[in-house]
Structure 1
Amino acid sequence: MLAHALVAALALATGQARMEAPRITVGSGQAVPVLPFPGETQTLNIIQWDPNQLPRIYERTDQLPLSDEEVAKLTQAGFDEASIVRMIEQRRCACDASADGLIRLKKAGATQRVLDAVSTHALRPNRGLELLVTLDFTGESRTAREGFLYFFVEDGDLTRVFSLNLPELLGRQNANETMVDRSDILRARTVRRIQLSGPVMLKTYGPHRVLVAASANPTLTHPSQLTDNERTKAQLYTFEYPRASLQSLCRLTAGYKRDAVLTYKWHFQGSRFECEWN
């Protein structure tokens, strides 16, 4: 009887040890002990972390967003507050929701509810624009006479400078970039078209000036460093940069033509610059 009692006690102690140190198998196949959790528990429902109601669902329309001017015009035309707020909720607002913008709307007669709707539903402010650069090289040549194309952007008290190394770019081989221009029925011309795209970050809104110039100098950091001849061939553009828009896309097209004397080189013919804001 005493022997049986000792065996039972030993088995119970062994079982308790196993319960106190359970093991799990990890990815390596090795069993590791898992420390037990305390026996006292407390259960919480996670949904109680936020007792607020679910966010309101707004029904959007396919109409273009309202602008600051349109919100002010609707206010001054006598549209009631609820109607203007509902239109802003449905269409969103490409408005200036900064402090200055809200002050201008308030002076135009917008109520507090309208200002709150503008602040909530205004499009995210633009931080930059997407620039698509298209280069057309017409004629059978190998390199560019002016080896660098510069894109200078006036941005408040800062001039942003973008440069393009044409010899390096033209050294790349890509058969898909070559096409044939048949606009002249008497003579087909080979055109090599190269397209590049990337962001141009801007910190100020409103009017901006852009200067596009070709130069042989690889180290220009300001338009004042252009030679008189390079400045004569450069093109100056202006564009209005909105605070918010659905689309911020600008296109720069630069043309190069086979030189009449140095036939193995292209020389800069000019550029075109345009922007789209929706």
Structure 2
Amino acid sequence: MLAHALVAALALATGQVQPVLPFPGQTQTYNIIQWDPNQLPRIYERTEQLPLTDEEVAKLAQAGFDEAQVVKMLEQRRCACDASADGLIRLKQAGVPKGVLDAVSTHALKPNRAFELLVTLDFTGESRTAREAFLYFFVEDGDLTRVFIANVPELLARQNAHEAMVDRSDILRARTVRRIQLAGQVPLKTYGPHRVMVVASASPTRTHPSQLTETERAKAQLYTFDYPRASLQSLCRLTAGYKRDAVLTYKWNFQGSRFECEWN
């Protein structure tokens, strides 16, 4: 997943145009500046032993661990398993005994229905507004494209709970970075590979990637991630950078983004 993010960032830096892949026609739009900036994602501490997976449960049963042992492990560690009817059938076909199947059904982690998204916007230089006033985040979800939009000038005009001035000065030059963080949930109904597009636009009416102009498509960044059925932690981070325009110094230009996810 990080590799996909780095490839997209490198393509932007080298001027390569990323092709716009087809997204589903049906859309749903969200205004992310309405998210509560006080509700940043909870930080989870990793346990010494992660939950068992479907494959590990099957291996333990096939390796001769008795039913009580495997059930005890599931009670202690839980299971990042597919506890749907199809998932339990696959485990039964792999030779997992009935008592273990019952424990999988009881102790499997709750299926993911959404992931936490932490959005960080960095504005470098002492400007006042953004040239491209809207930031879009498109997420493919089966037959639906989920559309997240941020009105950047509105965001800059208000006081944000999670906002900081980051001084990254060096010996020769000091830079002021205004950093704003927002957090919310991105609902997803399908598991497996998903495509994401991040793009800045001057238009507030984009409801699908097909509506982007050629210029917007040239600057759009594409990412992919694999969404697990269950995990202790489901956290993705989107960082977008803006830099003061060399000519219109009172405006920031969108420079690019980075997107990465962590599943535990």
Which TM-score applies when normalising by structure 2?
0.78
**Aligned-partner Cα distance in 1 for 2:161–2:73:** 51
Aligned to 1:179: 165
Tell me whether 1:141 sits opposite 2:96 in the alignment. Answer: no
Give how far 1:76 is off. Answer: 2.8
Letter in 2 for 1:105: L
1:277 aligns with 2:259: no
Question: Deviations along 1:93-137, whole A, 9 cap, x unmatched?
Answer: 111100111112122221111111100111111111111100000
Gaps of 5+ in 1: 1-60
Q: Where do 1:197-212 residues align within 5 Å? A: 197-212=183-198
Contact persistence 2:124–2:177 (CA under 8 A): yes
**SS of the counterpart of 1:110?**
coil
Instruction: Give the C-alpha shift of residue 175 in structure 1.
Output: 9.8
Q: Root-mean-square deviation (CA), in Å?
A: 1.7
What is the letter of the counterpart of residue 179 of structure 2?
R
Partner of 1:260: 246
What amino acid is the match of 1:202?
L
Structure 1 residues 175, 264: closer, same or farther in 2, change over 3 A?
Answer: farther
Give the % identical residues. Answer: 84
Q: Secondary structure at the match of 2:148?
A: strand
Equivalent-residue separation in structure 1 for 2:161 and 2:173 (angstroms) = 21
Structure 2: gaps (5+ residues) = 1-46
Q: Within 2, Cα distance between the matches of 1:220 and 1:250?
A: 23
CA offset digits 1:193-238 (Å, max 9, x no partner)? 0000011111111111111111111011101111111111111111
CA–CA separation in structure 1 for the residues paired with 2:216 and 2:159? 29
C-alpha distance in 2, partners of 1:71/1:220? 46
Which 10-residue stretch deviates more, 66-75 or 164-173? 66-75
Q: Does 2:167 match 1:194? A: no
Q: CA deviation at 1:173?
A: 3.9
SS across alignment from 2:73: helix
Displacement of 1:183: 5.0
Contact 1:180 1:188 (8 Å CA) reproduced: no
Partner AA of 2:242 in structure 1: Y
- The SS at the match of 1:272 is strand
